Chains A and B, each alone.
Chain A
């Protein structure tokens, strides 16, 4: 190994290092509190006003108004960012709104190589068409299986709830929260919503289960749910744990700069040590 080889190797390495930098899970260190939504499923009457308002605001076709849609629990789709499902529970019929959970530390945004999927400082997780390369790693990573992909288009988009990001910029509430006739969907700062939810549980301990879904699940989510029956009965995944999903790749990403600096030095040293004609 002469000096020229060394310089070349180091040069190559710094290019590589540029590529990875010190990759770390985005810290939720925004100065302001995230906004979120509290859904009280004990209040929901299943009128689906939120569904219709959502479709209207975002320019999607009007959802099928027939009550037949309740026969099977539905998933959100490329044409419906929000759906209401009906569940048979211990306490009778219950309705649950389903949409993007707007995680505090979203797996989808950590997965995105181009920052197309972005956790905004205000809280909503948004998707940006001009950045996305369509790799669908967000779909693979999302513990709630929320992002949906337009497989039938040659210029496909990812479709998912953006918490009415455009409306929030203009000082308005999300369309679903505004449309709800029974105030089952409450928009506000996440901290206030948790306080409100706790107060409701404390006031009516017989009505509610002693848990707010989303307070800690998957590291905490922007959407929070109250219920009168265990959440498994309402189609929620309760096996997600309380660790934020980006944490699962953090160890690997932390190891990258270490390997990127130590490995070449080690390889250079071994290569020099095994050289036969220079000693």
Chain B
């Protein structure tokens, strides 16, 4: 900013700067690609139907749209959207741990996209909790402090969701500042990153396990093969490889969809990143499998194995933990990237199975009429996912998430990144944005 002594010209400058900024925002609001694409049409239909259903849900109660009952108070809006969605969003805390705490610079290129994904996942999937709450206008009660239910795991989870979203936003915010061209704000926000990362990892440890702890009091309602006092630890450990598998799958999709935005260096490094992540997945999955077996033996549950629920348990444990972890191991050894992707997808299915088993399928497995979600619950869930993808695409197409940050933003106190880009400063290219 230039310094003007004359007040009049100062005002004129502020005004013209304001107008310029306004025009910039307006132009950024416009779509950047073709509007009528198959995906956009699909998204529009899904969102429209979801909007109508939500009006019905909020005017006529949960019974009008969901199959929830007195016996099944929690359906897929909790079991999938929140409990599974948050496990999938675990990549953000694992990657920030690797990059900012362990300083494994190799993974720096995927920090922003992972943090953005994590942040949006919390906003949308934890946000979808509001659809499920019967009295959502009271959702601020545990926050504003007129009634702290400190003995409640739900209280802990609510606070941690809120604080974690703030931490994630701080971690992501430098990219927004770079987009807006706010240099001093960018510098300030950048200096907050490490603190936000430490806060974020701590909160994640607690609320990933906290989501499991929600089910501890449902002791006599969850099948013994899934209920154990170690649910919190199992949820935490599995969130590590769930999050990383999501990063692998999401990264593969991004490499295609946003190909033009990704620098050749990043593209070349991506394979190594994927192999590294697969190693971490394999390691944590072996630990998880070991814990699962330990809990199983400790609980003396052999008698359940040869029952329908026992076979279902084996499907989860063998089909979607043991097989993918073997695939990860093999794939790392032979540097087979497509095998890693297969393993990651199997792992994600396994996480969906596990979270749905604990929260829905093995919950009151003895009930004569078991809960099955209505098409409207599924449609609204799909709407939440589509909305998240649209917002993600909007941001990635505008802010330096996959792209390199603007030149002025590179002189920040992050040694390795600085080194990496200083060399190329002379031959910087503009990465054009053509997809919407």
Q: 8 Å CB contacts to A: which residues of B84-136?
A: 97, 100-103, 129, 132-136
Distance to closest chain B CB from A194 (angstroms)? 24
Q: Are A154 and B154 in contact (CB under 8 A)?
A: no
Bound Cα distance A275, B64 (Å): 56
B contact residues around A259 at 8 Å (CB) = 202, 205-206
Q: Are A274 and B194 in contact (CB under 8 A)?
A: no
Question: Per a CB cutoff under 8 Å, which of A20, A150, A251, A271 touches B194?
Answer: A271
B223 at the interface (CB under 8 A from A): no
B contact residues around A239 at 8 Å (CB) = 220
Contact with A along B137-172 (1 / 0, CB 8 A): 011011000111111111110111001000100000
Question: Which secondary structure characterizes the binding site on chain B?
Answer: helix
Distance to closest chain B CB from A98 (angstroms)? 13
Count of chain B residues near A, Cβ 8 A: 73
Question: Per a CB cutoff under 8 Å, which of A13, A113, A141, A151 touches B149?
Answer: A113
B contact residues around A154 at 8 Å (CB) = 58-61
B contact residues around A249 at 8 Å (CB) = 151, 153, 213, 216-217
B69 at the interface (CB under 8 A from A): yes
Q: Are B101 and A270 in contact (CB under 8 A)?
A: yes
Distance to closest chain B CB from A243 (angstroms)? 9
Contact with A along B41-85 (1 / 0, CB 8 A): 000000000000000001111111010111101100000000000
Bound Cα distance A112, B159 (Å): 14
Closest to A158 in B: B134
Q: Are B147 and A267 in contact (CB under 8 A)?
A: no
Q: Are B147 and A256 in contact (CB under 8 A)?
A: no
Q: Are B217 and A248 in contact (CB under 8 A)?
A: yes
Bound Cα distance A153, B191 (Å): 48
Closest to A110 in B: B151
A209 at the interface (CB under 8 A from B): no
A36 at the interface (CB under 8 A from B): no
Given contacts A8-B195, A145-B70, 4 further A-B contacts (CB under 8 A): A16-B163, A23-B155, A114-B141, A131-B147
Chain A interface residues (CB < 8 Å from chain B): 1, 4-5, 8-9, 11-13, 15-16, 19-26, 75, 77, 107, 109-116, 130-137, 139-141, 143, 145, 148-156, 237, 239-241, 245-246, 248-249, 251-253, 256, 259-260, 263-264, 267-268, 270-271, 274-277
* 3 nearest A-B residue pairs (beta carbon): A134-B134, A19-B159, A151-B63
Chain B interface residues (CB < 8 Å from chain A): 58-64, 66, 68-71, 73-74, 97, 100-103, 129, 132-136, 138-139, 141-142, 146-156, 158-160, 163, 167, 191-192, 194-199, 201-203, 205-206, 209-210, 213-221, 229, 232, 415-416
